[in-house]
Amino acid sequence: MQATCPQCSNRITIDDARAPDRPFGVKCPKCQTAVRFPGRAAAVPAPGASASPAPVASASSAAAAPAAPASPPAVPGGSSLAVGNEALAQLRREVGASEAGRGAATQVLVAVPDRAVAGALTLPLTRLGHTIELLDTPEEGGRLLEQGAYGIVITTRTAPVPGKTEMLYQRVTRLNPDARRRIFLILVGEDLKTGDGTQAFVLQADFVVNPRDAVGAEGALLNTMAERNRVYQAFLEARKRMEAAAGY
């Protein structure tokens, strides 16, 4: 049995076999202060005083409890099916209204080697009234890009500008901040995870998509476009007022 001196905090140990049953006191060998001990009878817990063990559920009761339902598997790539038909229709209306508020239809510049992937990604945009242009058709695509002719660009990190050694992706990322904000950049790549915001931020894109998810990416794409429009709403309205004042 042990006790601590209240005066000097010295720990005093007494052999249980030598301690009396009733409370007693001893002097601290260090400071001679009286230290009280409760006695051996109080120090030893009475039989049966130990805490009763927690009841263990029987196997039958455990089996009777219903298991929590498993969450449905997520649809890879944030596909339109994951969004739902009603939500997808709402996204189309929201993005369409925001895009229509800009006036003329947005031109979409496409530089994706796989025509099937390009077609799947441009289909939602044509539904919004946008016009599609392929990079290998207009020779002045790069120049028009810098002039602000395109509001949406769909490309990979390996699609070159006609007649140039640089990539279209490089051309977009080196635009000045004002010109870059005018473009919604959709980056396609086998190493990308569709709708991943971190990858999009690192690659300076607005939306990233894996080619395997192109067919079902409409929901994630429109959701990202709607979020971006909300973020840039003040900027777009201010730019629209400035252009109207300048007579553009």
Share of the chain above pLDDT 70, in %: 64
Side-chain half-sphere exposure of 69, counting CA atoms within 13 A: 3
Mean pLDDT is highest, among 18-22, 103-107, 179-183, for 179-183
Range list for CATH 3.40.50.2300 in the chain: 80-246
Q: pLDDT at residue 44 above 80?
A: no
Determine the pLDDT at residue 244.
Answer: 77
Determine the pLDDT at residue 77.
Answer: 42
CA angle 224, 72, 220 (to 5 degrees): 10
Average pLDDT of the chain, as a whole number? 74
Judged by DSSP in three states, 166 sits in coil
Residue of 40, 120, 53 whose CA lies nearest to 80? 120
Query: pTM for the whole thing?
Result: 0.58
Residues 70-101: pLDDT tens digits?
Answer: 443 444 444 444 455 666 666 666 665 555 55
Determine the pLDDT at residue 149.
Answer: 85
Q: Which CATH architecture group holds 80-246? A: 3-Layer(aba) Sandwich (3.40)
Q: pLDDT at residue 136 above 80?
A: no
Secondary structure element (H or E) that encloses residue 88, with its range: helix 85-100
Q: pLDDT at residue 48 above 50?
A: no
**pLDDT band at residue 41 under the 50/70/90 scheme:** low
